[in-house]
Structure 1
Amino acid sequence: MELSTLAIALLSITLTYYFLISRRRRSGGKLPPGPRPLPVVGNIFQLGTKPHQSLAQLAKTHGPLMSLHFGSVYTVIVTSPEMAREIFVKHDQDFLNRTVVEAVHAHDHDSISMAFMDVGAEWRALRRICKEQIFSVRSLETSQVLRQEKLHQLRCYVQRCSDGGRVVDIREASFVTTLNLMSATLFSIQATEFDSTATEEFREIMEGVASIVGDPNFADYFPILKRFDPQGVKRKAELYFGKMLVLVEDLLKKRQEERRRDPAYVKKNDLLEKVVDVLNEENEYKLTTKHITHLLLDLFVGGSETTTTSVEWIMSELLINPEKLEKTKDELQRVVGEKNQVQESDIPRLPYFEAVMKEVFRLHPPGPLLLPRKAEREVQVGGYTIPKNTQILVNAWAIGRDPSIWPNPEAFEPERFLSMKMDYKGQDFELIPFGSGKRMCPGLSFANRMLPMTVATLIHNFNWKLEVEANAQDVHKGEMFGIAVRRAVPLKAYPSAIDA
């Protein structure tokens, strides 16, 4: 960027900032309280490397509805179940659309993706296809055999590691399994294998998309910088999104070609088959191939990243709390049988295992700040004025650790959920890891099958010993912020067969 251009950009940023600040002050409404912003940059430097934690700390001083300035982006942070209910229920219609980071504009993903596009006819059609075709009970039941096969491969891999005295990288094993579970359910293929170089190629693409969307980008806070892309975020996003779209488009084209070429073609029991049916002439959803490829990209990347991260957190909490692990294993052996492979139909009969899942979602929600919302008009919430175009972030991580809601909130205590009727499906605002309202995660029913089955496979037939035992509580609880919050230190452990 030339010096003169940079000077003009900085002047524009400064003028824009003061214009927006003065306009909000003249709005006449009472804005939510918050820390005093610095000139131009606002409160950016108060975010730190773990924004969910920094914002939770600030909310203790400024309250459950708190306002901050991230450059020229005015943002309100929600940090209580009561305020979350107002946003997601009472005013859901006013906060249906999203603010979208610059990276998501790559390949026009912001205007085609169900996760990011504005609510309208196209969004409703995509949501409907997810509900009626992709994530319907019938579709998921049909593809259950494919998932069982991939879980059997995970079990065999862990057994080989056990036999050879090898340590298992839980995130790596979860990543390969999740990738194969999703590719089997969506496309009837195996994406990769354990100990394969192909895994690294998939990891580069998947983590590239996930990280570039979650990385801080000055162009998001100062729109005048978007044309310059000073951090190269948009260029990287174009690369990673492009690779993923090519992969998905090739799979879709191959399936369409198979059906055209073979008059005796027998349909497969996967979700891609449903998608091809939808794309046939005169499809009632009125969706194009582009809509479908971007939808599959969202499902593949979003589902893989959040599931992989959640599996690692569940295993981490169980391994550093061995008495909870033993309770979980005892229940599995009592309900399923010591030698049998866990089935999806077994999961509803495992109340303690379900409580473990809820407790991990409370402590480690996949997306701690959820996906942002945007005020479509000026709205009154909790006695404060939310100006039009305000960005809304709901801190699900902070709500899950609020001591006024949860006794002993930092402790891993699944038992707390055995005596309370509370779920994580968007109706109980003390626990909203997947959001709530019309725009909550559409793949929740899919995750409800993949996640518990992966964990059950890992713990049902194996004992585990941490690679690093000393100071386990400290070593195994650090976090890295991103589109999903990961463990700072990869979880590694030695498996051994229960009857060994």
Structure 2
Amino acid sequence: MINFLFHRIICEVSRDMLNLLQLLRQHEIFFISSPLLIFTLLLIFFLALIRPSRKRKLILPPSPAKLPIIGNLHNLGRQPHRSLHVLAQRFGPLMLLRFGNVPVLVVSSADAACEIKKTHDLTFINGPKLSVTRKLLYDYKDVASAPYGEYWRQMRSICVLNLLSNKMVKSYRAIREEETALAMQYIKRIALGRKYNEDKNKFKKLLSDFLELLGTPDVGDYLPWLAWVSHVNGFNAKVDKVAKELDEFLDGVIEEHVNQHNKHANDQKDFVDVLLEIQKQDTVGFPIERTSIKALILDVFSAGTDTTYTVLEWAMTELLRHPKAMKELQKEAGKVSGGKSSISEDDLHNMQYLKAVIKETLRLHPPIPTLLPRVSTKDVKINGYDIVEGTQVIINAWAIGRDPSLWEKPEEFIPDRFLNNPIDFKGHHFELIPFGSGRRICPGMQLAMQINELLLANLVHKFDWTLPDGASERDLDMTECIGFTKHKESPLIAIANQCSF
């Protein structure tokens, strides 16, 4: 009987080991195969099975089956927000996974998100320490990843007061309207058949690589004994290369501002100038290093550009898929413009359908579907479950936006659902939290939405849009890319036909 049980354990262990090897090969994690490696994995699996359990009497959230050592890493697909949504439909809105050594709480309901982001906001105020974040964001010197404390408060205050406050957002109105007009002229040249060449934007590619890497988990963060894998498969080398190139680019930006400021001291200051002035005057109570300035600039570049145009891209995609919604928005734009050739920010206050289109886009396509991960700083109870200190928390905003208990026909694009509806995305209604909530809500939300509303309103007002080569709305590819933010995998291609006024 003992021999039979031992044989069965070995068979089970061997099967799990083969599952692990298949998973690692599938994700190109490593390419080494040797008897020694197989023996080592087999031994680790066996020891994990026979190790005495030390579980305390805790009431834990439901969990799907786990593999020894790797836990639930095999449950993550190319699109984690979708994989986690499928699991949550079986195991509930609070679900406990294990990514290697790390317990991970997956939150997929508005009520549970409120518990995390409002009731216990301070308990989940910090993000996990991840190797990729540390390398790319100057050892957590930026606002998004800095630990909660005096440094974070000062850096966030600098960003808000000098760039993102209501007063500052309003002060940039002329610039936004000027850039929007230039964008319309840019499209108009194409609509009139004029062609032009544009140099490839090296920084755009660099920013794309940066965001893709931020959204790629490093196996060593969850399985420290496999940290060497990221060296073998070239992942660490790619992270180091992107970090170095970004650092050189940002150094160039700073040096350019230093030189221009010396030559033109009376010119209007931008955000980089303000940062350099604060550094020079030493007014925040502690010295601001150049790495902190570069980290803040990187926050503005990445969050202020990538997530903003992601929302615009999905909004245009959904409008092209739903011609009735497009016509309704164009009708509203024509009405508020009063015959003018363009829409100003004063007109946006009267465009309720535009705001509904933006909200519906954010519901279906939040730029960061699982928000920024957080980690518990102490043991806490959430909806009756015990969540232990050190648990990583993932809030699946994408799943909450498609919850049938909250939304009628949740998979359909229906902007009308937000007409005469108080639900907003500003962090108070947990049915819709694309920018997060609580103390660490995205500080650039207002500026991003102001830009998106102005651009989208003018795009549909000045042009009629069609798909190329007679394609129908059913032909639009809605596949999402891999990375930190979720763009369309294939860029949106549409034809602009100039409207007459």
Q: TM-score, normalised by structure 2?
A: 0.87
Match of 1:279 in 2: 279
Instruction: Please state how far the C-alpha of 1:13 moved relative to its aligned partner.
Output: 7.0
Identity of aligned residues (%): 33
Structure 2 residue matching 1:410: 3-state secondary structure: coil
* Residue pair 1:99, 1:391 contacting (<8 A) in 2 also: yes
1:234 alignment counterpart: 236
CA distance in 1: counterparts of 2:337 and 2:65, whole angstroms: 57
Q: 201-210 or 131-140: which moved more? A: 131-140
Q: Which residue of 2 aligns with 1:103?
A: 132
Q: Is the 8 A contact 1:65 1:83 kept in 2?
A: yes
The aligned counterpart of 2:437 is: 436
| Structure 1 SS opposite 2:138 | helix
Residues 406-445 of structure 1: matches in 2 within 5 Å?
Answer: 406-445=407-446
Deviations 1:281-304 (A, max 9, x none): 232253322211111112202222
Question: Which residue of the other structure, out of 67, 70, 73, is the alignment partner of 2:102?
Answer: 73
Instruction: Please identify, of 14-23 and 66-75, the stretch whose mean Cα deviation from structure 2 is larger.
Output: 14-23
Distance 1:344 1:36, change over 3 A: same
1:122 to 119, 137, 151: 151
* Distance (whole Å) between structure 2 residues aligned to residue 392 and residue 76 of structure 1: 5
- Aligned-partner SS, 2:200: helix
Query: Which residue, 45, 66, 89 being the options, matches 1:60?
Result: 89
**Match runs of 1:442-457 below 5 Å:** 442-457=443-458
Q: After alignment, is 97-106 or 153-162 more displaced? A: 97-106
Shift of 1:441: 1.1
SS in 2 for 1:124: helix
Deviates more, 1:326-335 or 1:399-408: 326-335
Q: Distance in 1 between matches of 2:39 and 2:369?
A: 37
Q: Is the 8 A contact 1:56 1:79 kept in 2?
A: yes
C-alpha RMSD of matched pairs (Å)? 2.6
Match of 2:69 in 1: 40
The aligned amino acid for 2:246 is M
Q: Which runs of 5+ in 1 are unaligned?
A: 167-193
Structure-2 change in CA distance of 1:312 and 1:285 (3 Å): farther
- Gap change, CA 1:270 and 1:4, over 3 Å in 2: farther
* Aligned equivalent of 1:175: none
Instruction: Compare 393-402 and 7-16 and name the one that shifted more.
Output: 7-16
- Given the alignment of the two structures, is residue 197 of structure 1 paired with residue 199 of structure 2, yes or no? yes
Give the secondary structure class of the aligned counterpart of 2:96: strand
Contact 2:322 2:473 (8 Å CA) reproduced: no
TM-score under structure 1 normalisation?
0.87
Distance 1:339 1:379, change over 3 A: same
Matching residue within 17, 30, 33 for 2:59 = 30
Q: Which amino acid aligns with 1:279?
A: Q
Tell whether the 8 Å contact from 1:20 to 1:72 is kept in structure 2 after alignment: no
**Which residue does the alignment assign to 2:17?**
none
**Cα 1:380–1:161, aligned 2, differ >3 Å: closer, same or farther?**
same
Q: Which amino acid aligns with 1:374?
A: V
Q: Which moved more, 1:267-276 or 1:7-16?
A: 7-16
Deviation at 1:353? 0.2
2:8 equivalent in structure 1:
none
Q: 2:247 aligned with 1:245, yes or no?
A: yes
Q: CA–CA distance in 1 between the matches of 2:141 and 2:448?
A: 23
Aligned residue for 1:94, secondary structure, equals: coil
In 2: Cα distance, 1:268 partner to 1:12 partner: 66
Distance 2:58 2:325 in 1: 50
Please give the secondary structure, in 1, of the residue aligned with 2:140: helix
Q: State whether structure 2 residue 380 is matched by structure 1 residue 379.
A: yes
Q: How many residues align?
A: 468
Determine the structure 1 residue equivalent to 2:358. Answer: 357
Range moving further from structure 2, 52-61 or 139-148: 139-148
Q: Does the CA-based 8 Å contact 2:104-2:391 persist in structure 1? A: yes
Q: Which moved more, 1:407-416 or 1:208-217?
A: 208-217
Deviation at 1:74, TM superposition (A): 1.5
Quick one: distance in 1 between partners of 2:173 and 2:52? Answer: 54
> Counterpart of 2:268 in structure 1: which amino acid?
K
Deviation at 1:471, TM superposition (A): 5.5
| 1:6 Cα deviation from its structure 2 partner | 5.5
The whole-number CA distance in structure 1 between the counterparts of 2:52 and 2:129 is 21
Distance 1:360 1:285, change over 3 A: farther
Deviates more, 1:109-118 or 1:463-472: 463-472
CA distance in 2, matches of 1:19, 1:150: 65
Partner of 1:92: 121
Counterpart AA for 1:289: R
Q: Aligned pair in 2 of structure 1 residues 142, 108: CA closer, same or farther (>3 Å)?
A: closer
Counterpart code for 1:398 = A
Q: What is the distance in 2 between the residues matched to 1:71 and 1:41?
A: 4
Query: Relative to structure 1, is the Cα distance of residues 343 and 35 closer, same or farther in structure 2, using a 3 angstrom cutoff?
Result: same
1:115 and 1:469 map into 2 onto residues whose CA distance is 44
- What corresponds to 1:476 in structure 2? 477
**Which secondary structure does the structure 1 equivalent of 2:434 belong to?**
coil
